[in-house]
Amino acid sequence: MKTKLLFSLMIILIGTISLAGCSDDDVVTVIDQPPQPPQSVYTITGDDTVFIYWTAPYEGDIAYYGIYRSSQELTGYDLIAEVEADPNPNLDLVYYDPGYVDADVSNGLTYYYAVTSVDEAGQESDLSAETVFDTPRPEGEMTLYDDAVDPNRSGFNFLTGTVMESGNPGADVYLDRDIKTGVFYINATNIDVLLQAAGYHESFDGIGWAPQNGWSYTGWAEIIPGHIYVVAIKDNHGDWNYAKLRVLAENDNAGTVTFQWAYQLDDNNPELVPPTEENTDLTARAGIGSML
């Protein structure tokens, strides 16, 4: 088990040089130093899965990397895996993309990660410096119908991952379409649901933190293929949970839209801070976290 220090003192031993005189008997002792830790460590959230990324140090004798995990930020890090290093004789910039996939996690629980470098002599670096945490969450795909076409399949509940009637009290959002223009809209079902149109993204992982402003207080947002929408939902206890949707496809003839969705089970998760009483904004906390 390892402890992560906020500051560490590094003592560098350059060597011992005999100064007895200038002769062939002069001795220079070179001490091999432990390697530097990996840099730019971060994670991406999955469903019962966490993807871990890092950049290798500029060293040519790294044998493998140690993957550490804890339930706390600064202590209790246990080794969970070893990842063989890619050869790097030219000291190039090497990315591990991802370097490790942790599938031994549960949705709704928060995990802290660190990575170490181990050289061919078996010397291990300090834990990586970044504060990296992740809370895996469920995700999936679903198809909603225009409320005028099939109201029984126009609503969606993120907690249960269930398509339902738009008028069901459990529905968080529902789909409808403008009769004249044919444009689809995603709608909040009540005032405790906030919507944010986050723009076009090539990947579902393109949005990891909710922006601080730009929420649709009208309660609806226009559906555009490839766009991501962030949703904040307030429960009966005053806690907030977040979700996101990405538009995968529209079917004008059937009156349907297919979405990829994800929902964070952890109340008031630090990756997306809930709206406050003063400004009703979602504000990301300081520090390096993961992508929703």
> At residue 277, does pLDDT exceed 50?
no
Same domain, 30 and 122: yes
How many alpha carbons lie under 13 Å from residue 247 in its C-beta half-sphere? 22
Q: Is residue 145 located within the same domain as residue 109? A: no
Indicate whether 219 and 245 sit together in one domain.
yes
Provide the 10 A C-beta neighbour count for residue 269. 22
- Tell me which of 134, 160, 190 is where a domain ends: 134
Summarize pLDDT for 68-102 with one digit per residue, the tens. Answer: 999 999 999 999 999 999 999 999 999 999 999 99
Residue 214 scores a pLDDT above 80 = no
Last residue of a domain, one of 83, 100, 134: 134
Are 163 and 153 within 8 A, CB to CB?
A: yes
pLDDT at 212: 66
Parallel, antiparallel, or unpaired: how do β-strands 39-45 and 290-291 relate? parallel
pLDDT tens digits for range 110-125: 999 999 999 999 999 9
DSSP secondary structure letter of residue 274: P
Which tokens sit at 289? 């976290």
Q: Is residue 9 part of a domain?
A: no
**Which residue reads 């529209």 in tokens?**
250
Q: How many independent structural domains does the chain possess? A: 2
Same structural domain, 148 and 129: no
Asked if 119 and 69 touch (Cβ cutoff 8 Å), the reply is: no
Average pLDDT in the chain = 86
- Within this chain, do residues 150 and 178 fall inside the same structural domain, yes or no? yes
Phi and psi of 236, rounded to 5°?
A: -70, -15
Instruction: Give the per-residue pLDDT at 4.
Output: 77
Q: Are residues 234 and 272 in the same domain?
A: yes
The pLDDT of 146-173, averaged and rounded, is: 97
Judge whether 11 lies within some domain: no
Query: For residue 199, is it within any domain?
Result: yes
Is the pLDDT at 205 greater than 80, yes or no? yes
C-alpha to C-alpha distance for 244 and 7, rounded to whole angstroms: 37
In a domain, 198, yes or no: yes
So what's the pLDDT on residue 21?
46
**At 95, which CATH number?**
2.60.40.10
* Of 19, 37, 42, nearest in space to 99 by CA: 42
Say whether both 246 and 149 belong to one domain.
yes
Give the pLDDT of residue 17: 37
Look at residue 190 and tell me whether its pLDDT is greater than 80. Answer: yes
Residues 281 and 144 in one domain: yes
Q: Is the peptide bond before 274 cis (omega within 30 degrees of 0)?
A: no
Contacts of 222 (CB under 8 A, 6+ apart): 183, 184, 185, 197
Of the listed ranges 20-34, 41-55, 241-255, the least confidently predicted one is 20-34
Q: What's the pLDDT score for residue 244?
A: 93
Domain containing residue 176:
139-285
Average pLDDT over every residue of 164-184: 97
Domain co-membership, 44 together with 151 = no
As to burial, measured by CB atoms within 10 angstroms (0-12 exposed, 13-18 middle, 19+ buried), residue 281 is middle
Listed ranges 16-30, 231-245, 260-274; the one with the highest mean pLDDT = 231-245
Percent of the chain with pLDDT strictly greater than 90? 70
* C-alpha span between 216 and 130 (Å, rounded): 34
In this prediction, residue 268 has a pLDDT band, given cuts at 50, 70 and 90, of confident
Cβ atoms 38, 128 nearer than 8 A: yes
Asked whether residue 8 is assigned to any structural domain, the reply reads no
Return phi, psi of residue 195, to 5°.
-115, 145
Prediction pTM value: 0.78
What contacts 253, CB < 8 A, 6 or more positions away? none
Token digits for 138? 């469920």
Q: Is the pLDDT of residue 285 over 60?
A: no
Q: Is residue 6 part of a domain?
A: no
Question: How far apart, in whole angstroms, are the C-alpha atoms of residue 181 and residue 193?
Answer: 26
Does residue 182 share a domain with residue 257?
A: yes
What pLDDT, on the 0 to 100 scale, is given for residue 9? Answer: 39
| Confidence at residue 30, expressed as pLDDT on a 0 to 100 scale | 61
Q: Based on the fold, state whether residues 88 and 176 are members of the same structural domain.
A: no
**Residue 275's pLDDT is what?**
40
Between CA 228 and CA 106 the distance in angstroms is: 25
Model pLDDT, residue 276: 41
Q: Are residues 162 and 279 in the same domain?
A: yes
Between 5-9, 210-214, 251-255, the lowest mean confidence (pLDDT) is in: 5-9
Among 134, 156, 181, residue at a domain's last position = 134
Choose among 113, 110, 98, 116: nearest CA to 53.
98
Taking 60 as the threshold, does the pLDDT of residue 187 lie above it?
yes
Residue 6, pLDDT above cutoff 60: no
Q: Which residue has the higher pLDDT, 100 or 7?
A: 100
Contact 262, 191 (CB under 8 A): no
